[in-house]
Structure 1
């Protein structure tokens, strides 16, 4: 049985799209060099496809994507925002 939780899906995106093993939760993805501007753009596109979401311009802030928990939070909020719009 596969884990369809947001963190598990995020880890799969990192592995499949960016060839990154799941980093420690508190590891800064940019300071460590795991993400740079190009891989960040690739990550955004991959997350939008994986979760069927669209990031608002104000969400595209490097500080919101520095750690896995931070990325999970941004994705969770984008999913909730999409559900709210769909339910309107």
Structure 2
């Protein structure tokens, strides 16, 4: 698990309690996700990783798993470095 994945998992664990989320586990299928949580997740990503989540990034598939969130962050941070 890389550093980005670890930071995302720590944030998610605040909402998912004792559940040991796996990197490829669909957080939406667990039933914990609501619109408030989705906004908190986007704000966390923007603030923690100093990136902007654009409207075109707001697709479920970008936020469904720890891996997909990590991939989104890595893509966005690579773009901001260029």
Does TM, normalized by the shorter one, top 0.5?
Answer: yes
Which of 48, 57, 60 aligns to 1:59? It is: 57
SS of equivalent residue, structure 2 residue 16: coil
Q: Which has the larger radius of gyration?
A: 1
The structural deviation recorded for 1:61 is 0.6
Q: Which runs of 4+ in 1 moved over 4 A?
A: none
1:1-49 Cα deviation digits (max 9, x unpaired) = xxx711111122223xx43355112221111113222101110001111
How many residues are treated as equivalent by the alignment?
80
Q: Please, which runs of 5 or more residues in structure 1 have no aligned partner? A: none
RMSD over equivalenced CA pairs, Å = 2.0
Structure number with the bigger relative contact order (C-alpha 8 A, sep ≥ 6) is 2
- In structure 2, what is the Cα distance between the partners aligned to 1:34 and 1:24? 15
- Matched-pair contact (CA < 8 Å) for 1:13–1:47: no
TM-score by length of 1: 0.77
Normalised to the residue count of structure 2, the TM-score between the two structures is: 0.82
Aligned residues of 1:29 and 1:67 also touching (Cα < 8 A): yes
- Identify unmatched segments of 5+ residues in structure 2: none
